């Protein structure tokens, strides 16, 4: 009897899913990454149009799937990818808003840790403040790639916020004073889900706007920054 392929409320796999999964927020970005950078691409998920693809990068299996926006979305997809489909490396590739004046648009930020204003971590009922942390294995591999490829990266603490349009206008400034580099909306949830499962997670971002200086990206230059981010993260599929 054929073994039944598991499915979940959000992922109904039509093709295998690789142990290494890249997670851009936008499902059409996942399609673009698969079609641009991978060989032998097969679509594995179309549920809710949260497109997922599996292919190979330099001979190594890798999947790429949309995560949606925000901690609730990425954390449910990561949970299912890890617990049901055996993912052992979950890597967010996205954009962030810089909170420090010396970060330029198109710069690359790697989230060593992810502070958050979300209540997601409260479910773990820990007797203190948990520090969602990226995988050192993945982080050191990205740093090594950056050195080899001559790409500058900024490594540090980011903020994963539930709020894109803040009611108060001093919020970002307060996080910035604690050395937080940039804001996005997903990584703290991804890191917590991965940590609890004992697997590796990392967030790598291109700066799309600077909240201090007001600088913003233009679409033509966005493309090359995006390519750099992919060339730093896709080789993670080949790690032992
Ligand atoms: N806030 C949250 N997420 C983001 C931002 C921002 O300003 N810019 C890019 N991603």
pLDDT at 211: 95
Q: Which of 24, 29, 93, 95 to mutate to test the pocket of ligand 1 (most atoms within 8 A of CB)?
A: 95
Of 26, 61, 117, 209, the catalytic one is 209
Residue with tokens 């969602």: 132
pLDDT at 2: 64
Q: Looking at the DSSP assignment, which residues form a beta bridge with residue 42?
A: 54
Q: Which residue pairs from 37-46 have beta carbons closer than 8 angstroms and sit at least 24 positions apart in sequence?
A: 37/230, 37/234, 38/62, 38/64, 42/14, 42/15, 42/16, 43/14, 43/15, 44/11, 44/13, 44/14, 44/15, 44/16, 44/17, 45/11, 45/12, 45/13, 45/14, 46/12, 46/14
Q: Per residue of the chain (240 residues), what is the pLDDT tens digit? A: 567 889 999 999 999 999 999 999 999 999 999 999 999 999 999 999 999 999 999 999 999 999 999 999 999 999 999 999 999 999 999 999 999 999 999 999 999 999 999 999 999 999 999 999 999 999 999 999 999 999 999 999 999 999 999 999 999 999 999 999 999 999 999 999 999 999 999 999 999 999 999 999 887 777 778 999 999 999 999 998
**Cα of 232 from ligand 1 centre, angstroms:** 21
Nearest partner of 70 among 207, 174, 158, 190, judged by Cα? 190
pLDDT at 186: 98
Q: Which of 68, 98, 204, 208 to mutate to test the pocket of ligand 1 (most atoms within 8 A of CB)?
A: 208
pLDDT at 163: 98
């Amino acid at each position: 009897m054929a073994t039944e392929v598991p499915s979940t409320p959000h992922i109904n796999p039509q093709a295998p899913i690789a142990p290494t999964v890249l997670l851009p927020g936008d499902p059409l970005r996942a399609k673009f990454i698969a079609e641009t950078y991978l060989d032998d691409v097969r679509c594995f998920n179309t549920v809710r149009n949260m497109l997922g693809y599996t292919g190979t990068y330099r001979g190594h299996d890798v999947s790429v799937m949309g995560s949606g926006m925000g901690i609730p979305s990425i954390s449910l997809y990561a949970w299912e990818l890890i617990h049901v489909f055996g993912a052992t490396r979950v890597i967010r590739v996205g954009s962030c808003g810089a909170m420090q004046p010396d970060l330029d648009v198109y710069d690359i930020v790697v989230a060593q840790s992810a502070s958050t204003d979300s209540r997601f971590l409260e479910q773990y009922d820990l007797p203190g403040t948990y520090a969602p942390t990226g995988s050192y294995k993945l982080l050191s591999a990205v740093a090594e790639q950056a050195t080899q490829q001559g790409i500058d990266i900024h490594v540090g603490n980011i903020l994963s916020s539930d709020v894109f349009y803040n009611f108060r206008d001093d919020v970002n400034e307060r996080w910035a004073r604690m050395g937080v580099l940039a804001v996005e909306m997903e990584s703290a949830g991804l890191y917590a889900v991965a940590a609890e499962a004992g697997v590796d997670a990392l967030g790598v971002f291109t700066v799309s706007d600077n909240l201090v200086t007001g600088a913003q990206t233009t679409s033509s230059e966005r493309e090359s920054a995006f390519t750099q981010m992919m060339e730093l993260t896709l080789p993670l599929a080949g790690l032992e």
